[in-house]
A and B are shown apart, each in its own frame.
Chain A
Amino acid sequence: MASTGAVAALQAALAAENAAIFGYGVAGAHLTGSSQAAAEQDWTAHNQARDALAAMISARGAVPAAAQAYYQLPFRVHDAPSAIRLAAYLEDGVTRAYLGLVAVSDQRLRRFGAMAMQDAAQRAASWRGSTQAFPGLTPLVLLALLAP
């Protein structure tokens, strides 16, 4: 019997992957050339990750949550720069979601989550054009750690 924490963390990662798949569909429509090719490549990666997560959830005796028909975008996407910002935003969300898997007790899931975080952080850095010190961790969490 799998722990409910592991299944919940897997479902959260699946939800983020589904949102990313939807978002890349929107972003890709506003991109051309190498950017569009990169978006397609990332879209494919998220589809593969979704399938892997769904299989892991099923293997634990749970039902993978279905994707929503529509996702509210964080801002209006109407051109290439906003599409690129959306792609980086989506990857940040995926990185954050996999952070939950790193906290479960199953060591293989921790490693899986950490490696998925690296993939998403790489894609985010590629879209953003810069790296981050703490992919997946919010400034508020970091400030709380530093508080006396």
Chain B
Amino acid sequence: MLLASAAALPLLLGAAGCRSSDVFTGPDPLAGRPPLGHDVLTLQAVITAEENMIDLYQLAISGDPGTTRAQTLRSLLAQHQQHLVQLKARLIVPPGASASPSPSSASPSPRASTVSITRLRAAERASAADLVRRLATAPPALAQLLASIAASDATHATALGG
């Protein structure tokens, strides 16, 4: 009976004026999970960058914990931690997909002694520029959050003497 039905399907479609390729045009349910949306990929990349920035600040503070400089860095670090909370709150990953991308291998992990103010300042500037670059393809609400974080990062660069 099943075989008979399957064999009859092209005839039925033909009678309806359809070809089988016209009917099954959606995503193949057997092809696995669909790729993540661009906004999810953007959020994942920005979250990773924010986590790297937090690591950088923590290293800088650990190398010089009792100084006035460390106090300034702690206040900027706290703002980066707030950025991370807001970014993560927006990340909704489909079930079964990886919640966070693999760590970036673009730059090797620095040691505490190598994290200078100059390096933090450069990282803040680079982050602000990267976030603005991502605005073009972000949905409006996400674009506003990224622009606000970029503005915060720009003020951090200035606070660090830039």
Chain A contacts to B: CB under 8 angstroms:
95, 99, 102-104, 107, 110-111, 113-115, 117-118, 120-122, 124-126, 130-137, 142, 145-146
Contacts and interface: CB of A to CB of B under 8 A. Distances in A.
Q: Which of B83, B135, B144 has the most CB of A within 10 A?
A: B144
Nearest to A126: B158
A102 to B, nearest CB: 4
B147 interface: yes
State the main secondary structure of chain A at its contact with B: helix
Interface of B: 75-76, 78-79, 82-83, 85-86, 89-90, 128, 131-132, 135-136, 140-141, 143-145, 147-152, 154-156, 158-159
15 contacts: A102-B147, A103-B144, A104-B140, A107-B135, A111-B135, A114-B147, A117-B147, A125-B159, A126-B158, A131-B75, A131-B79, A131-B159, A134-B152, A135-B151, A146-B85
Contacts of B154: 118, 121-122
Contacts of B82: 133-134
Nearest to A101: B147
A146 B75 contact: no
Contacts of A135: 148, 151-152, 155
A123 to B, nearest CB: 10
A133 B152 contact: yes
B79 A145 contact: no
Contacts of B152: 121, 131-135
A117 B135 contact: no
Q: Which of B89, B140, B147, B152 has the most CB of A within 10 A?
A: B147
